[in-house]
Amino acid sequence: MKCWSRIVLLGYLSATLSGCAASGKLYEPRVLSNKSNALIYVLRSKLDEGEVLDPPIVYIGGHEIAALRKGGYTVVEVTPGHTTIQMKSAFLSVATYTGAAIDLEAEPGKTYYLGVRWYRPSPDYIVIGGDPYRLELLENEERAAYELRSYRLQPSKLEVIE
């Protein structure tokens, strides 16, 4: 009986810990290709919980942008005006729940930083149904830019959204 419980524990730990951290190039600032556009960075803390198998997926303006692993970021250039940034939980690389969303009025030449975090009101809270991810606009741009230095790029499926 002890053998089976160890096998189950090892399987659980493998599923929850393997492949969770972002890989890719360390942060490099992105320059706007068109000065009248805006940049949106979406970053996910290295200390974030969640993600048993698949990372959450970032959508900007209705377009799937990137799967965002712990310690990862993605960046997209958008035209000025209204856009919606969403996080969706994924299972087997398919978006399963439409989660947190932020509506943003992008201004020309401006850079926006959004943080993704796993929301759990208490340590014994278990999410069943719904989406536990939250998005927040990071108001302190200097701190966000400083934090990004240790984050890894999760390539965007689109570089510019018009």
Phi, psi of 52 (to 5 degrees): -75, -50
N-term to C-term CA, the chain: 59
Q: What percent of the chain has pLDDT over 70?
A: 67
70 DSSP assignment: B
Using pLDDT thresholds of 50, 70 and 90, give the confidence band for residue 15: very low
Global pTM? Answer: 0.77
In this prediction, residue 4 has a pLDDT band, given cuts at 50, 70 and 90, of low
